[in-house]
Amino acid sequence: MIQLFNTLSRSKEPVEGSLLRIYSCGPTVYNYAHIGNFRSYIFADVLNRTLRLAGYRVEHAMNLTDVDDKTINGAIELTQKEPGKYADLKNALAAYTAPFTEAFFADLKTLNVVKFDYHPRATEYIPAMLDLVERLIKKGVAYEQDGSVYYRIGEKKDYGKLSRVDLEKNKTGTRYNTDEYDKDDVRDFVLWKAEPQTGVHWHSAHGDGRPGWHLECSAMIHEIFKGPIDIHTGGVDLIFPHHENEIAQSEAGYGGAFVKHWLHCEHLLVDNRKMSKSAGNFYTLRDLLNQGKRPEVIRYFLLAAHYSQKINFSADALHQAEAGVEKMYSLWQRGERAAKKAGEADADFAQTSLDARKKFTAELADDLNTPRALAVVHEYFRVANSLLDKEKDSLPMATAQELQETIRHFDRVLGLIDLMPKAGIGADLQQLLDERNAARAAKDFVRADALRDTLLKAGYKILDTKTGSHLEKIKTDA
Ligand SMILES: [Zn+2]
């Protein structure tokens, strides 16, 4: 039985059912995702992997916001840089978001995030969004003003139940046209935004416009899952107004319940400060990889703290994560290298292994407690290493298998073995190639060429073929 802390009830609640429908708020593709964003995506991945390990079936969606204030501003800049290149601004918007979308998928792969079942993109669900707008108008909770449509939050009795926002501050009759605002400013929010000017708009009964950000998730969830969902995840900063507004829209528009469990993961700090471009402590995953940080170490670091705690990204924390990863890899390799002899399995070790697997799963079942699960893992590593010491790296076949199976069991959630640098073309070379392909897709040719040269120096040339890019070892005469 899995228990998860529900932001709605502020208590741990059991997860019920065998097929779980999960929706996780994903990136706005106006930039490369930063390490704080990845905390939220790795958290969604741990949830997914834990549920699967426990035997649930999971259908998991993570959306991409490819139309909002930020992406439209990016598209406008693009047309100013290269006037005449794009047929219209919608075209420029697609061109602007494409490389960031591609980079996002590459980054998920780099961090070994299990594939999601759905990646809905907002621009592909406009009719569903307009349908929801009409439902809300019919229900009397939405109204039009100057071509935009707003949600009248005073019409929903339990508005604020997720964030427990103070509705006393609600400024009746005032409204917000922007997607983001804070808790001290509760107002009617925009569902459909009049946009006759910029050219990024779709036709509607209310005139040309585009969806509000909050509307996007509600409509896509309904379109994909056709009913209420079991779990909705996101960062804590999304509780208000984004998720509060999703609840208001979906419950009023479609009727009945919307989400059973709301799960939110905390912020990531860098050197104990909030990450910001101006503070110079803003890192995308790509920045970190360019500094020589390894994806498996970043993944481990993000797993090492409970999702409900703030974590601090620092050189020290990364060193600790690296030590943790190395322990796992060296035991894995030691187990592979150990001589496999005939004879009976070590009964004590078999019991220890079974207990460790059960305890690991149980710790995760308790609201995804990754730090306690990792403590189980390291205690097991200690016992396994001392057995190998005692047996001088020679184990009965069955015992060696037990060791391997147990590490594999842990890894179904940790997801680190796949990232282990391999002999031959190392994971870091593959990483460089992925990076170079992403740079090329983003038309950053200076960077793409620099990465090509790095690979050449390492003794590999890139072969670009119809089926993709490959690395080939350069033959030397020596
Ligand atoms: Zn969302």
Model confidence at 429: pLDDT above 90: no
The backbone torsions φ and ψ at residue 194, rounded to the nearest 5 degrees and listed phi first, read: -60, 130
For residue 75, is it within any domain? Answer: yes
Model confidence at 303: pLDDT above 80: yes
Model confidence at 333: pLDDT above 80: yes
Q: How far is the CA of 303 from the centre of ligand 1 (A)?
A: 23
The sign one gets for the Cα dihedral 330, 333, 337, 340 is positive
Note the pLDDT of residue 477: 52
Same domain, 256 and 323: no
Note the pLDDT of residue 425: 53
Same domain, 412 and 393: yes
Q: How far is the CA of 159 from the centre of ligand 1 (A)?
A: 17
Mean pLDDT of the chain, nearest integer: 92
Note the pLDDT of residue 265: 97
The two beta strands, 229-235 and 19-24, are: parallel
Same domain, 434 and 347: no
DSSP class of residue 452 equals: H
Q: What is the pTM of this model?
A: 0.87
Strands (E), 266-404: 268-270, 273-274, 311-313, 339-341, 394-396
- Tens digits of residue pLDDT in 161-199: 999 988 777 666 678 777 777 776 788 999 999 987 788
- For residues 65-76, give the mean pLDDT: 93
Q: What is the CATH number for 335? A: 1.20.120.640
For residue 295, is it within any domain? Answer: no
- Tens digits of residue pLDDT in 220-274: 999 999 999 999 999 999 999 999 999 999 999 999 999 999 999 999 999 899 8
Model confidence at 26: pLDDT above 60: yes
Q: How far is the CA of 323 from the centre of ligand 1 (A)?
A: 36
Same domain, 373 and 433: no
Model confidence at 399: pLDDT above 50: yes
Q: What is the CATH number for 35? A: 3.40.50.620
- For residues 452-476, give the mean pLDDT: 80
Note the pLDDT of residue 181: 78
Same domain, 118 and 165: yes
Q: How far is the CA of 235 from the centre of ligand 1 (A)?
A: 10
Same domain, 34 and 86: yes
For residue 135, is it within any domain? Answer: yes
Same domain, 157 and 261: yes
Note the pLDDT of residue 196: 78
- Tens digits of residue pLDDT in 32-45: 999 999 999 999 99
How many folded domains does the chain comprise?
3
For residue 275, is it within any domain? Answer: no
Model confidence at 311: pLDDT above 90: yes
Same domain, 105 and 22: yes
Note the pLDDT of residue 376: 98
Model confidence at 478: pLDDT above 60: no
For residue 298, is it within any domain? Answer: no
Q: How far is the CA of 25 from the centre of ligand 1 (A)?
A: 4
Same domain, 195 and 324: no
Helices (H) and strands (E) in the chain, counts: 14, 18
Q: Give the residue from 394, 419, 444 where a domain finishes.
A: 419
Q: How far is the CA of 300 from the centre of ligand 1 (A)?
A: 26
Note the pLDDT of residue 435: 86
Q: How far is the CA of 136 from the centre of ligand 1 (A)?
A: 18
Show the CA angle centred on residue 453, arms to residues 450 and 457, nearest 5°.
140
Same domain, 459 and 325: no
Q: How far is the CA of 324 from the centre of ligand 1 (A)?
A: 33
Same domain, 124 and 179: yes
Q: How far is the CA of 296 from the centre of ligand 1 (A)?
A: 27
- Tens digits of residue pLDDT in 97-127: 999 999 999 999 999 999 999 999 999 999 9
Q: How far is the CA of 26 from the centre of ligand 1 (A)?
A: 7
Q: Tokens at residue 424, please?
A: 């031959």
Note the pLDDT of residue 427: 59
Same domain, 81 and 146: yes
Model confidence at 374: pLDDT above 60: yes
Confidence of residue 423 (pLDDT cuts 50, 70, 90): low
Confidence of residue 280 (pLDDT cuts 50, 70, 90): confident
Model confidence at 77: pLDDT above 90: yes
Q: Give the residue from 396, 419, 442 where a domain finishes.
A: 419
Q: How many angstroms separate the CA atoms of 61 and 116, rounded?
A: 6
Which domain range does residue 442 map to? 428-473
- For residues 404-413, give the mean pLDDT: 98
Show the CA angle centred on residue 340, arms to residues 336 and 344, nearest 5°.
125
